Amino acid sequence: MADLTRTAANVRPTRDFTDMVTDEFIAGATIEQGQPFYVDSNGKAQLADANGSGTTQCDAIALNKARAGEGITGIKRGPIMGYDLSGLAYRARVYVSNTVGELADAAGGTTIDVGHVMPIGEDGNIQKMLYVELPWRG
């Protein structure tokens, strides 16, 4: 399992997407753009990982940076850029890593599937993007 390289300043939705689902949260810790997070029992966003007790869930991927107590926008479904996906095939699954706040190319201690790699035409070129597909948790 290898963590994906993320360039926080480049993490963004690829374009307006009719079915994109985002939501607003309050950060319970510092979270950077592109990091996976979950909502804790106090209703605050905390960094996710695939091997930590109580952190083995993922509710969204951060679209902005926030410190504890600040608002953060998370994407639950839709296409985003900002990760080096060059070593992954189209349709390859992407997972929450065992490394806190990172994504990986293979499942960690607990399988937390975040989405898959898809092509997108941008500026006349085909590029790889991450299509996030996180379930609603009750």
Q: Chunked in runs of 10, what are the mean pLDDT values of the chain (138 residues)?
A: 91 79 95 96 95 80 97 95 95 96 94 94 86 80
Q: For residue 54, what pLDDT is reported?
A: 67
In a domain, residue 1? The reply is no
Its pTM surpasses 0.85 = yes
Q: Is residue 46 part of a domain?
A: yes
Residue 21 lies in a domain: yes
Side-chain half-sphere CA neighbours of 64 within 13 A: 13
Structure tokens at 79: 């296409």
Q: Is residue 138 part of a domain?
A: no
How many distinct structural domains can be found in the chain? Answer: 1
pLDDT at 115: 96
In a domain, 75, yes or no: yes
Q: Does 2 fall in a domain?
A: no
Distance CA 132, CA 116 (A): 7
Residue 25: the pLDDT is: 96
CATH code for position 107: 2.40.300
In a domain, 16, yes or no: yes
Structural domain that includes position 25 = 8-133
d(CA 130, CA 138): 25
- pLDDT tens for 65-103 read 999 999 999 999 999 999 999 999 999 999 999 999 999
